[in-house]
Structure 1
Amino acid sequence: MLHLIRRGERLVVPFLLIIGWEIFSRSGLLPAALLPAPSIVLHSWADWAFAIDGSSQTYSGHWLSDALASCLRVLTGYAIATASGVLLGIAIGWWRWVERTIEPTVQMIRPIPPVSWIPLAIIWFGIADKPAIFLVFLGAFFPILLNTIHGVKTSDRNLIRAAAMMGATEQQMLRQVIFPAALPSIMAGLRIGIGSAWMLTVTAEMVAVKSGIGYVLWDSYYFLRYDLVLAAMVSIGLLGYGTDLLLKLLMQSTLRWQRGQTVQGR
């Protein structure tokens, strides 16, 4: 019973927000077209997903294909960012010559907003999936890279000395000591990166792609369908929450050894 109550606590704030939103939308303080009530948004969302009455017009019944298109772009760009960010982060954090050679360039590129790359991405890759994947990569790469560097540099030196005394090679040191020690920081970077990945794929779909949830959001804005705009926003939030939850579960199963070292709130 207590377990169910604790799970229900997560629904309290969303429930209150929805009730408050419904009351405010129906109060007449704003035109209903500018801020559709949640009930209207839910109806449009249902038609977008299941084609119940055609109220979402050309998007009726297409939610699943739009969501899959966005997910594919996110996962592709995110996978590339994860592989390159972790490998480069370990190299920068472990070898001083790599840090001196590469990190200044990385730190110079990092402050450039990913959205400012959109014109070049379109020129380089055209109007297709590739510019969206490129922007997702940029958004996820730097959080993963910096957290990996931090994890490597803050690894327990006593563990490194112990492994060296036991005759571990550099490859064994990196694989069996440094990577596991840096894993909590890497996982934190992965969770930050997935949020950035969703933000960037939606931005790219608004400009450089003709499919996906971001495209539906932007196209609906042009036709003053703010119910679909809000449905798209909620869809992005739920998909982002779902992918973050999967990462959190992966983190819990991977870092079981760390559970005894963390403080659990009541």
Structure 2
Amino acid sequence: MNWLASLREQRDRLWVPVLLIVAWEIFSRSGWLPPSLLPAPSTVCRTWADWVFSIDESSQANAGRWIHDALASSVRVFVGYAIAVVSGVLLGVAIGWWRWVEKTIEPTIQMLRPVPPVSWIPLAIIWFGIANKPAIFLVFLGAFFPVLMNAIHGVKTVDRNLIRAAAMMGGREAQILRYVVLPAALPSIFAGLRIAIGSAWMLTVTAEMVAVKSGLGYVLWDSYYFLRYDLVIAAMISIGLLGFLTDWLIKLLMSRILHWQHGQTVQGRNH
């Protein structure tokens, strides 16, 4: 019966997307806007299918290149995101745990954090040229600060009684950090990881529009210049689906690592 309940839950989740697609199809075919300005979902799907499988070359030069474009964007996201996660978690734990690190580094961090990552595009192009490096740099900037701030918050909100108990049992500082502070801060850290992956996708698309000549963002921007709005929408949906998939993978990892938290949540709901 569990699978039946799960099937019903998935069905309920599909109602809103299906209704939106139907309404979109009806509105596009009503004639209120020219079909070239608002392509119907059926047109977008046909163009998207050609972009993926090269069916009828309706996507022209992009026919059959979706895997290549999606892989190019995914690599940039993964590399920049990985660098941001490692550096953000390490620096966030250090700032949250050691007061002298907080006093030394946090003022600079707080000055840089409000600067929009897109404002770094001119410098990124000057420093790294037109290639993958400026895109990876912008992805890193977009993902770094959410990871950093949530790591700091997670460390600072650890129950001090747990730290005192570990110290009274003879735990050294490194042991307390590894076995007490870091596990207790993981929920907040994972929240930052989920926010950061969305920012990473947004920034890689922005970078591909300006500083890179490949990827989903480049296809989106290039299609806009040629008034191919069906391909623009197909690129937008592709980005959304890949962002959803990566967020789902992070949620899956989180549920595996924080299984103890899931049990407490279920128990709390039962009460």
Letter of the 1:165 partner, please give it. Answer: M
> Which residue of structure 2 aligns with residue 162 of structure 1?
165
Deviation at 1:47, TM superposition (A): 0.3
Q: Matched residues in 1 for 2:263 and 2:257: separation?
A: 14
Q: Matched residues in 1 for 2:158 and 2:6: separation?
A: 36
Cα RMSD, aligned residues only: 1.2
Question: For 1:1-266, what aligned pairs fall within 5 Å after superposition?
Answer: 1-262=4-265
Q: Matched residues in 2 for 1:211 and 1:133: separation?
A: 13
Deviation at 1:114, TM superposition (A): 0.3
Letter of the 1:254 partner, please give it. Answer: I
Q: Matched residues in 2 for 1:265 and 1:33: separation?
A: 52
Runs of 4+ in 1 over 4 A off after TM superposition: 263-266
Deviation at 1:265, TM superposition (A): 11
Q: Matched residues in 1 for 2:224 and 2:96: separation?
A: 45
Q: Matched residues in 1 for 2:151 and 2:266: separation?
A: 23
Letter of the 2:195 partner, please give it. Answer: I
User: Structure 2 regions of 5+ residues with no counterpart?
Assistant: none
Could you state the TM-score of these two structures normalised by the residue count of structure 1? 0.98
User: Structure 1 regions of 5+ residues with no counterpart?
Assistant: none
Letter of the 1:68 partner, please give it. Answer: L
TM-superposition CA deviations, 1:6-57 (whole Å, max 9, x none): 1111111111110011011001111110000000000000000000011111
The secondary structure found in structure 1 opposite 2:121 is: helix
Deviation at 1:256, TM superposition (A): 0.5
Q: Matched residues in 2 for 1:208 and 1:164: separation?
A: 51
The secondary structure found in structure 2 opposite 1:262 is: helix
